[in-house]
Each structure stands twice: as C-alpha cells, then as structure tokens.
Structure 1
Amino acid sequence: MYRKVSIGLGREIPQPQIDTYDVMEFGAVADGETDDSRAFLEAWEKACAATGYVSTLFVPHGTYLLQPVLFRGPCKSKKIRVEIWGTIVAPPTLEAWKDCDRKGWIQFKKIDGLRVGGFGQIDGRGSPWWEEFAMGFHSCNDVKLSGLRHLNPPKNHITVNGCRGVVISNVTIVAPNDSPNTDGINISLSTNVTIRDSFIGTGDDCVAINGNTSFINITGVMCGPGHGISLGDPRRGSADTVEEVHVSNCTFNGTTNGARIKTWQGGKGYARRISFKNIALIKAKNPIIIDQFYCNGKHNCKDQESAVKVSDVTYERMKGTCINKRAAAFNCSNTVSCDNIIMREVMITSQVKTFVTCNNANGIANSTVPDASYI
C-alpha cells in the first residue's frame, strides 16, 4: 500500500501508493463515434478493486462516446479519483442508444471518498427525448467534483441524491436558456453540500434544492441565464424538509427568478433557517419570491388545509436591478403563514417604480427599496 521515499540521514517515510487505470489501456478508441462504455467500466472495475491508498480512473485527451454507465461502489481504496482530461459525449440519436430504460447517463453509486475532476467536458448533446440527468451521485459520502465543463444535458446537469459531504467547485455549466428542465445542480435527500466558485447558465434552476436536505452552502456562483436558486417544490400531500440553506456572494444575471422558495398547497413539513446575503442582481425578472401556491409552474393552486411551513428566512444586502415592477413577492398560504421573514439593506430598482407584494407573511424590513415595512 505504501512505497518508501528517502528523506536523508538514512530515514525513510512511507508514501501512499497511487494506482492509475487509463481507459485507453482497456480498449477505448476516443474517436467520438465508437462506443467506449465497456472500456470505462472495465477500467472502473480494476480501479475500484485496487487496494492502494489512492486509485485513479484516468480519461486522457480525446472524445469518448458513452452509453448510460453506472460506476458502482463501495471501493477498496480510501480515495478513488476519476480524472477527465478529454471530452465525454452522449450518443447523438435515439437509435444510437442501447439502454433507454436507465435513469441517467453517467452515475456514481455508493462510493465514499470520490474525487471527480480535470480539464475535460461532459457533453450530453441535449437529446430532446431523454428526460433524466447527465451526471448523478447517489448514496455517496465525502465527494468532490471540480474543474469540469458540463454542456447541454437532456435534463439535469448534475444530480446529488442521498449523499453526505459533497463539495462542487470551479465547474462551468452551460445549456441554452430555452432548454427545458436543464437544472444546473439538483440536490435531494442530502446534507452538508457546498457549491462554490462556479458559473451556471441554464434553461432552468441554476441550483435546485429539493426535499429532505440540510446544511447547503452556496457561495461565489454566477447564475444566468436560468431560473435562479430555488428551494422546495414538494408535491401535494408529501412531507418534506429543507433547512440551513445559506446563499452568499452570488450574482443573478438576467435570470427569470433570483432567490426563490416554492411549495405546493397540501404539503407538510418545513423550509426554515434560510439566508441570501451579499447578492448582486442584474436585470433579474423576479428577484425575491416565496410562492406557496406553486403547482406544475402554474402558481394557481387552490387553498388546502395544510402547507409547508416557511420561517426564518433572511435577505440581506441584496442589491441591483430587475426588469419587473415587482421586486419581491411573499405569496404565503392563507392557513399557514410565513414567519420571521427578515429583509435588511435590500435595494432593488427598475426603470419604473418597484413594489413588494405580501400575503400572510410576517417579519421585519429595514433599509429596503422598495419599501417593505408592512410585511
């Protein structure tokens, strides 16, 4: 597991063994047309079974066509890396796919200590018929994803589901602003997730934070185009929780929404202890939204007796411009109010006079433009 390195005076210290498995050595062609899936899976099998301290699956320069692949753990190494220097592409047409029932394209499952990075690209080619995520992490703990460029997924670019301890940094995520359901990063059933220092421009949410998530930190993200950073969306009758979500030092540039919390009527659970601080707005359409009447995007749900409880939400030092008259909307349930909504040093202007709308929301507002002292 370790090799010895001399440090002088006859002393030696152990160095961790690093095992590297190059997909080219397992038969990958890297011409962008030949299916390289088998080579990737065989290289992964060796990397996952290796007993060195660090084991690496290496993807050198070139273009690799992959069918849906599942990289499954647990693995024997303490740390396992996927180093991507080339471009990975999806098949170009429906007819080219061999496994259309798989719920995603590139998946990692039950792998702890996973590191995915490099200087390469993940290009989903935006297949209009395929409605699942491009890259997914499921039941993985202590994960780091960095450095890659993610392009044109059929649906979500990156999905984090059932994970603990995830850091996503220095990634670039790009899809056309009219592409449907192309969330940048979609998080559910996870805790202790950090997203930082990245560019996300998509046709849907830059970051979507779904039910049963906690301790999510997002900082230094440039979002736009897209639908902003969204929390919630539990279905009617479901019981979901979202808490300790903190967004800071981010920019919303030309986004449909900015800081958004959305829930359905008839849901249960809570969304609480949420903050948006030091946020720059550049021609955002709807900068601040709490919408408890969200249903399939129609925003016209009928009142129900139950609703997700929204509380302890802070908007602080949010400044910039919007293209609508309405700078903020707190559209809370008529039966379950939104409580402890705090606005401090929020200044949102437009070419016309802006205003704030409020339904059954309680809180305080200091130094805000437009005036929101009546919440």
Structure 2
Amino acid sequence: MVATVDTFMILQLVLCIAIVQVAQAQDFNVLNYGARGDGITDDSKAFSNAWKAACGSASGSPTLQIPQGMKFLLKPITFKGPCKSSTIHVQLFGSIIAPSNPSAWAGFDRSKWLMFEYVNGLILDGNGRIDGQGSAWWQLCGKALVFHATNNLKVDGLTHLNSQRNHISINGADTVVLSNLHISAPEESHNTDGIDISNSKNIQISHSNISTGDDCVAINGGSSFINISDMTCGPGHGISVGSLGKAGAFETVEDVHVQHCTFIGTTNGARIKTWQGGSGYARRISFKDITLVAAQHPILISQFYTDFTESSRLNRTITTNDLKVSEITFARFHGTSATPSAITFQCSSQGGGCTGLRLDHIHITSSTGGKTFANCSSAHGSYHDVSPRVDHCLLR
C-alpha cells in the first residue's frame, strides 16, 4: 500500500514538473533574447529572435512578452508567419518607441514600421504603449502598425501615440476584433489616420478613443461587414468610407454599420467620399445613434473628393462617375455643428446621383447659436423628423 502511494506521488510530481516546463516553454520574454529596454539601444534583433522562437513553437498558445516599465527602441521589423501554433499571443506591457531621428531608418523601408504578416490567431493585448515619436516623421513615413493577411486577429487595450502616418492598418484580413484602444496624435499632424481598413471583412471595432490629424477610421476599397460601436472620435476627420475610385479605380465597400459613436470637434462626422472617374459602389451603410459636439460637417457625402491640388480642383466636374452610392442610412443623430452646413450631399448627376438615402430622427443645431442648413445635389431618398430640413433638396 505504501509503495503504491509513493508511486502515485512520484507520478504526480513528474506530471507537475512537465506541466511547469511546458508552461515555461510557451513564454518568450524579449529580455531573454537580448533586449535592453532602455529606450536607447536598438532592440530590433532581440524582438526578431524572440518572435521566431514563439512563432516556431507548436506547444499550446506561445506568448511573446514585452515587460512593463521599459522602453524598447525598434527600427522597421516584420513579424512574419504562418506560425506553428494555431494561436499566438503578444503581451505588451512596456513601451515600443521609434527612433526620434528619421536618419536612423536610412536603408530601411519607410512605408511601414511594425508589421504582422500571414499570422493567424494573433492576440495582441496589454496596457502598454506604441509611440511613433511624432512630427519628425509625418512627411516621411508610412504605416506604424500593419496587419496584413492576419485572420482571426484580436487587439485589445493598447495605447498608440504619435504615429509616423497611419496608426493601425488592416489589409487583406478576415475576422478582426479591435477593442479598448486609445489612439492619439496632434490635430495638426498629417495623414495620421487612427485605423485604416482595406480589402478586409468581418471587422469589429468597439469601446475606443481616437484623436488624430486625419480620419479616426477610414474604410477603404474591398472592405465589407465592418461594425464600429461605442467610439469617441475627435479631433480628427470623423469616420469615413473612402476615399474610393481614385485614378479611375474600381472599388467597393458594403455592409458597414457605425453605431453609438461620439464626434467631438471633428472636421467631419459621418462621411462617404468618392473620386470622379472611378467605378464600383458604396452600399448598405448605416450611421446610427450618433452624438455630435461641434463637428464641422456632421453628415457628408461627396462624390467630388479631391486631393486639393490645382489640377484636381479644375477637373473635378468634367469626368464621368460610375461609382454608385446607395442604401445609406443616417438615424438618431443629435448634437451640434460648428458650421452652418449640418447635412451635405454632393452627389454626381452623371452617375445617377446618390440613391436610397434614408434620414430618420436627425436633430442638429448650431454650436455657435446660428442657423444650420442642408445642402443636397442629385440626392434621392426619404426622411422623417429631420432638422435642419431636407425637404427642399432631397429628391424622392
């Protein structure tokens, strides 16, 4: 009996040791691969080696750990898959920073900084920070955090500051959940979009705060089934579908739903923008339960989007437009506009205009005590309980 008990206890001990060893093998701390975390030393090689080890691990769900209280200086780096495990976890509790001097990136591809590519089942979370170091990069660099062909992606809890250009880019992805994000760059920063989505589907963004110098969220061509909720946006350019159809491109966006969002001091609120000369469609798009605080153009559709160059201004009305905008709903908007133009539909008669627009329970007043108005061109749809009035310009 004693021997049996002893044997059983030994087996339990061996099992516990094995479990501990497996658990330890699943954690890949960047410090163990040579990272210094002093904000001065280039830790790119250490991160690359730690990633290769984690991505090459087939046991459980390997975790790449970036510890708190430390700053890790990284040059452009690609975390490439596919990985052996079906899921891989990156825990960011410290800070990742870019070099403050652009000359440090000489010889590197400046179009992206941190890139995850072909990594399925990625979870990136923690209360850490990604800091792109701001203004020195705004005219020089591209996307800060890129997810390319990363299916079943979850990003939660991160703070992302002062991107070189776009903060987060989602491209060629299916099934993505972004939540509890804090994205910030100065209002005067150029092209610092919060989240850019292209050629992707089944994207959910929720419970996030974004203040930048460009779109809080931009939904670009090839995107569908996008759901955005419980977001505060501002300053920035609002939540935009497009721009679509630049340089005659065929582009499509459909099944986009934005709900329970607040726009504070933004240049736009709910916006759809397309170029003349393009083709394709933007359809089945809704903005509902929207709060406005001194947004300059709360509701805006423009089929005459330009890059503000002299040539684009001169030619904006002379090209054809085959990019259809249809089945668009704006419902339950309330709050204030910083300009008189509360509702603007600049649709092209050449392509049949915008069709299937629906406005319901819209109440927008002036933040300065003046009047607000609606301006429509070649816009077709229906309305109920809308202020400012649209009955003089929205075609049935």
Provide the TM-score with structure 2 as the length reference.
0.89
Aligned to 2:48: 41
* Distance apart, 1:95 and its partner CA: 2.1
Aligned to 1:367: 385
- Residue 138 of structure 2 contacts residue 191 of structure 2 at CA under 8 Å; is this kept in 1? no
Aligned to 2:28: 21
Tell me the SS of whatever aligns to 1:308.
strand
- Residue 67 of structure 1 contacts residue 98 of structure 1 at CA under 8 Å; is this kept in 2? no
Q: Which structure would you say has the larger Rg?
A: 2
Letter in 1 for 2:277: G
Aligned to 1:8: none
Moved more, 95-104 or 320-329: 95-104
Moved more, 194-203 or 127-136: 127-136
Is 1:118 aligned to residue 126 of structure 2? yes
Is 1:286 aligned to residue 308 of structure 2? no
Task: Summarize deviations over 1:29-52 as a string: whole Å, max 9, x none.
Answer: 000000000000000000000011
Tell me the SS of whatever aligns to 1:53.
coil
Moved more, 365-374 or 61-70: 365-374
The 5 A counterparts of 1:192-341 are 192-234=202-244, 235-297=246-308, 300=313, 301-336=316-351, 337-341=353-357
Q: Structure 2 residue aligned with 1:164, among 170, 174, 177?
A: 174
Is 1:344 aligned to residue 344 of structure 2? no
Distance in 2 separating the partners of 1:129 and 1:312: 37
Distance in 1 separating the partners of 2:138 and 2:258: 32
Tell me the SS of whatever aligns to 2:269.
strand
Structure 1's unaligned 5+ residue stretches are 1-11
Aligned to 1:4: none
* Distance apart, 1:78 and its partner CA: 1.5
Distance in 2 separating the partners of 1:243 and 1:15: 48
Distance in 1 separating the partners of 2:304 and 2:379: 14
Distance in 2 separating the partners of 1:353 and 1:111: 52
Higher helix share: 2
Over the matched positions of the two proteins, sequence identity in percent amounts to 47
The 5 A counterparts of 1:143-158 are 143-158=153-168
Task: Summarize deviations over 1:230-285 as a string: whole Å, max 9, x none.
Answer: 11212031000000000000000000000000000010000000000000000000
* Distance apart, 1:295 and its partner CA: 1.3
Is 1:85 aligned to residue 101 of structure 2? no
Task: Summarize deviations over 1:96-125 as a string: whole Å, max 9, x none.
Answer: 224432420000000000000111000000
Distance in 2 separating the partners of 1:89 and 1:293: 38
Aligned to 1:30: 37
Tell me the SS of whatever aligns to 1:78.
coil
Is 1:67 aligned to residue 75 of structure 2? yes
Tell me the SS of whatever aligns to 1:95.
helix
* Distance apart, 1:352 and its partner CA: 1.2
Alpha-carbon spacing, 1:112–1:100, altered in 2? closer, same or farther (3 Å)? same
* Distance apart, 1:326 and its partner CA: 1.1
Aligned to 1:5: none
Letter in 1 for 2:51: W
Structure 2's unaligned 5+ residue stretches are 1-14
Distance in 2 separating the partners of 1:281 and 1:304: 34
Letter in 1 for 2:50: A
Aligned residues: 364
Distance in 2 separating the partners of 1:263 and 1:98: 36
Provide the TM-score with structure 1 as the length reference.
0.94
- Residue 196 of structure 2 contacts residue 218 of structure 2 at CA under 8 Å; is this kept in 1? yes
- Residue 134 of structure 1 contacts residue 155 of structure 1 at CA under 8 Å; is this kept in 2? yes
Letter in 2 for 1:225: P
Distance in 1 separating the partners of 2:138 and 2:224: 32
Aligned to 2:374: 356
Tell me the SS of whatever aligns to 2:290.
strand
Task: Summarize deviations over 1:145-196 as a string: whole Å, max 9, x none.
Answer: 0111000011000000110101100010000000000000000000001100
- Residue 264 of structure 1 contacts residue 307 of structure 1 at CA under 8 Å; is this kept in 2? no
